[in-house]
Amino acid sequence: MGRSPCCDKVGLKKGPWTPEEDQKLLAYIEEHGCGSWRALPAKAGLQRCGKSCRLRWTNYLRPDIKRGKFSLQEEQTIIQLHALLGNRWSAIATHLPKRTDNEIKNYWNTHLKKRLAKMGIDPVTHKPKSDALLSGNDAHQSKNAANLSHMAQWESARLEAEARLVRESKLRTFQHRLGRPSTTGFAISASAAQLVHKSPWNSVSNAGFGDLESPKSTLTSSENGIGPSSMPMTEFPGTASASSETGIIKQEGEQEWKGLGVAVSSTNLAMESNNSLTFTPPSIHEIGNTMEDGFINLLLNDSDPSLSDSGKESDGNSRGNDDKNYWNSILDLVNSSPSDSPMF
DNA sequence: AATCCTGTCAACCGCGGGTTT
DNA sequence: AAAACCCGCGGTTGACAGGAT
């Protein structure tokens, strides 16, 4: 279809915003809410394109934005979610209250990515750059990788839906605050509606996950709209078709979760009275809890010696083990949740 | 003091997806 | 059904600040 860029209009200002422009934008949004961004600049008396206004608002002027240094918990959350979701900043941002996707993206690119690289870990795949680790117990590692991939697929789909709900909710809250009904409506999108949360996440307060909801979700048996095809996945060793290639044989009673390709144990599934299937994947809390003592601390300690009680350990030793610890800690999270995460 | 280098981050750009006409 | 429109996302850029030489 080809759309013309919105910012190539002659006379529209670009570049840094002035305090006066900020004031105009704020005043307008407080008065009228943020309905149509395209129409907003003219109405607000701004020589900017709507896109620029939206960006300024969402990344800077919004009242619920927290600025400044990222906390350790926020760093943990970013790293964990990035391992699961990759560069899906908006999805990651939904779990970092008051942080924007742009800010998270910048922080990742300028801080966390480098920290991982420094440790010899590929920040894209979260794999050690040398795959030596896999040379030993291939089958075991690959199995774990496959499980992790399945978990990531689930989390990705869930977060995607959750992100929509959060966005809609935030908009509603803001407009409610302004005493205005939504101009956009709040019909839950189809994919979001497919993931109906059943219970709150446990109230673990670490890692900034306190606001997360339960991943236990209900999918009607006919639904298949959520699939890997629409979800770029974080890649782990042996991910592709790992279940068949690595000797993971579906146990009796396991079912292939249509659309996700996830091997689902019968213990994960319960038929609800309305003929929908309830599926209980591992919670991200469990991920966070398990990771916390392992690779997250490793990362944090690496970045800030003051936070580490190491130094007891020779540098050579710790450095040599860093990538192994990192990888093992990710695998540990898979292995460590057998009882309450029947998925694995 | 001047210049260069590096890091940071606000802002821009292009694209894709969803909605409306 | 197709075109037009709008919005949001993720990658990238460039201005600026601060440190190193």
Residue nearest to nucleotide C9 (CA to C1'): A90
Please report, as a single letter, which amino acid is at residue A74: E
Answer yes or no: do A83 and A205 share one domain. yes
Answer yes or no: do A56 and A163 share one domain. no
Q: Which pLDDT value is given to residue A130?
A: 63
Answer yes or no: do A260 and A187 share one domain. yes
Indicate the residue among A237, A270, A285 that finishes a domain: A285
Concatenated DSSP letters of A2-64 = ----TT--TT---SSPPHHHHHHHHHHHHHH-S--TTTHHHHHT-SS-HHHHHHHIIIII-TT
C1’ C3 / CA A220, Å: 35
Lowest-confidence segment of A52-66, A236-250, A317-331 by average pLDDT: A236-250
Answer yes or no: do A254 and A126 share one domain. yes
CA quadruple A142, A144, A150, A153: dihedral sign: negative
Q: Which two tokens stand for residue A64?
A: 């619920």
Residue A6 counted as domain residue: no
C1’ B13 / CA A159, Å: 27
CB contact set of A197 (below 8 Å; sequence gap of 6+): A213, A214, A216, A217
Q: Which of A296, A304, A343, A17 is nearest to A148 (CA)?
A: A343
Secondary structure of residue A315 in the 3-state scheme: helix
Residue A28 counted as domain residue: yes
Range of the domain at A30: 19-61
Residue A329 predicted with pLDDT over 80: no
Residue nearest to nucleotide C3 (CA to C1'): A1
Residue nearest to nucleotide B19 (CA to C1'): A184
Answer yes or no: do A128 and A169 share one domain. yes
Residue A294 counted as domain residue: no
Structural domains of chain A, count: 2
- Percentage of chain A modeled with pLDDT above 90: 2
Which range among A30-44, A181-195, A232-246, A272-286 has the greatest average pLDDT? A30-44
Residue A2 counted as domain residue: no
C1’ C7 / CA A278, Å: 33
CA distance A153 to A158: 9
Residue A326 counted as domain residue: no
Residue A260 counted as domain residue: yes
Residue A165 counted as domain residue: yes
Q: Which two tokens stand for residue A117?
A: 């690289």
C1’ C17 / CA A284, Å: 39
Q: Is the pLDDT higher at A187 or at A39?
A: A39
Please report, as a single letter, which amino acid is at residue A65: I
Answer yes or no: do A255 and A110 share one domain. yes
The answer to whether A88 CB sits below 7 Å from nucleic acid chain C is yes
The answer to whether A336 CB sits below 7 Å from nucleic acid chain C is no
Answer yes or no: do A50 and A78 share one domain. no
Answer yes or no: do A175 and A102 share one domain. yes
Residue nearest to nucleotide B17 (CA to C1'): A230
Q: Which pLDDT value is given to residue A201?
A: 33
C1’ B6 / CA A55, Å: 27
Q: Which pLDDT value is given to residue A104?
A: 92
Residues 27-56 of A with CB under 7 A from strand C: 35-39, 50-51, 54
Length of chain A: 344
CB contact set of A312 (below 8 Å; sequence gap of 6+): none
Please list the residues that pair with A38 across neighbouring strands: none
Residues 126-185 of A with CB under 7 A from strand C: 163, 167
A41, A42, A47, A48: CA torsion to nearest 10: 30
Model confidence band, residue A189 (pLDDT cutoffs 50, 70, 90): very low
Beta strands A262-264 and A255-257, pairing class: antiparallel
Measured CA to C1', the nucleotide nearest A88 is C10
Residue nearest to nucleotide C5 (CA to C1'): A3
- For position A34, which CATH number holds? 1.10.10
Write the pLDDT tens digit of every residue in A60-108: 888 888 888 888 888 888 988 898 888 889 889 988 888 998 999 999 9
Q: Which pLDDT value is given to residue A122?
A: 78
Answer yes or no: do A203 and A95 share one domain. yes
Helix segments in A108-210, DSSP class H: 113-118, 138-177, 190-194
Give chain C positions with protein CB within 7 A.
3-12, 15-16
Q: Compute the mean pLDDT over every residue in chain A, rounded to the nearest whole number.
A: 57
Query: What is the DSSP-derived secondary structure letter of residue A181?
Result: -
CA distance A127 to A284: 20
Answer yes or no: do A25 and A92 share one domain. no
CA distance A177 to A248: 52
Lowest-confidence segment of A90-94, A296-300, A330-334 by average pLDDT: A330-334
Answer yes or no: do A156 and A116 share one domain. yes
Residue A39 counted as domain residue: yes
Answer yes or no: do A104 and A25 share one domain. no
Indicate the residue among A29, A61, A93 that finishes a domain: A61
* Percentages (nearest 5) of helix, strand, coil residues in chain A: 50, 5, 40
